[in-house]
Structure 1
């Protein structure tokens, strides 16, 4: 989660972490997943895919079990999905990123087409950095509640990160420019009611080198955003963008087909 670029306390992007009341609201995560069933008929009206491969990376201390529901949904929309296959995500320990690169290369070679990367929280950091290093193999990047635009203390989990990974955030981030967007279409899905990550830390600033960046707000918890029907719709919609000669990237449009469990706040409010 808190795998951030180093910033000073006076930096305007040094956001305070979510409040204790917001953190307490993380308990609603199971209800978000429970909303999938009544929302399923609407979710099945999301754009269908072209069968390309999607790799989904889990959040801090989580594994492929947590991303299985999202991957099953994407398979129902005609995608071939893969988990990251490295057990629990305990941070970028020795060999972790190299293994992720090998997986991306293998998926690209096996399918003969570019691979989309989806990452939940810390997993989104992996997805973004992989796309920066191997853009010729990546179709698009979608992140869910990923903190990339703020100081590491802008989350309520940075101590857990250091405990789980055994690494110092400050020393690690010297080799990364996390706020920089990858040079491929990149979408950040975030929630203002996230109780773990300050929502401003998940907002991608406009990138002159990559105009195909965007932010999509949903109503979700941090622990539930990867199980949330609104987030699932947004992921499927973004993966469904056409590729090839003549294809033009289009920013996200809130769907007109709305169920009570699929909601996107007005970005102009």
Structure 2
């Protein structure tokens, strides 16, 4: 795995195509929905990316609900970054995880997109007894400070980067003590995909998709992978086995019977 010094931000060519690619991916999602899997009803909290809110993860949450999971939005509106001291602010999110855990009497899976994935990882470190697994979408946990184009948006939203000390950056790069799936795209136009990669471990994996950064929460392939990961039996986590078909085809052509 490359060192943080070798990370590079995506090209400007990829960056400028992000909105159009995300729109096309959202339209494609309407043409073929991923197959529903049989969930076990355990609770799932979904965290949006920087500058995004509940609407941006609605399609992901809707699919997971259709699969039978008890799905929760993070319920803090638009993600403008941590408010105040990072660890104090995380404490508010920890209480939310503990409350959902107590309500269901079951461990909670955390799904985070981009910066939301950073939250999910840190929450799993703070209350691992409440967390079943973490799934991140385009989360550059090893390239938070640079090698991405999200820093400009973060500063525009009033984010304070002074807290990103070497000690905190090192902490953010360490994986939580629960099973982790990192979904990433080499054509990501906002963040360095190499910075999204987890270190090899028996309960950690990296799953590649061909998606834009902005389109991740609505991309049919991503929806299917997330649901597949959450549908595993608790305590029986296994690496993702890629399947050939990711969409239900909508064909109107009559089938030919074989003689």
Q: TM-score range by the shorter chain?
A: 0.7 to 0.9
Runs of 4+ in structure 1 deviating by more than 2 angstroms, as ranges, are 10-14, 169-176, 256-261
Q: Is the 8 A contact 2:43 2:71 kept in 1?
A: yes
Contact 1:142 1:189 in 2 (8 A): yes
TM (norm. structure 2) is 0.88
CA–CA separation in structure 2 for the residues paired with 1:51 and 1:214: 23
Pair 1:191-2:181 in alignment: no
Q: CA deviation at 1:123?
A: 0.2
Partner of 1:266: none
CA contact (8 A) 1:53 1:116 kept: yes
**CA displacement 1:130-176 (0-9 Å, x = unmatched):** 00111000001000011111252210121221332431255456335
2:203 is aligned to 212
- Unmatched segments (≥5 aa) in structure 1: 1-9, 262-269
TM-score by length of structure 1 reads 0.85
CA contact (8 A) 2:181 2:207 kept: yes
Hey, what's the Cα distance between the residues in 1 that align with 2:168 and 2:10?
27
Against the structure 1 CA distance between its residues 188 and 91, is the aligned structure 2 distance closer, same or farther, given a 3 Å change threshold?
A: same
* Structure 2 counterpart of 1:267: none
Residue number in structure 2 paired with 1:255: 243
Q: Please report how far the alpha carbon of residue 96 of structure 1 lies from its aligned counterpart in structure 2 after TM superposition.
A: 3.6
Partner of 1:167: 160
Partner of residue 105, structure 2: 112
Whose Rg is larger? 2
Count of aligned positions? 243
In the alignment, structure 1 residue 138 sits paired with structure 2 residue 134: no
Q: Secondary structure at the match of 1:118?
A: strand
Paired with 1:169 and 1:195, the residues of 2 have a C-alpha distance of 25
Contact persistence 1:14–1:151 (CA under 8 A): no
Measured on the aligned residues, the alpha-carbon RMSD in Å equals: 2.0
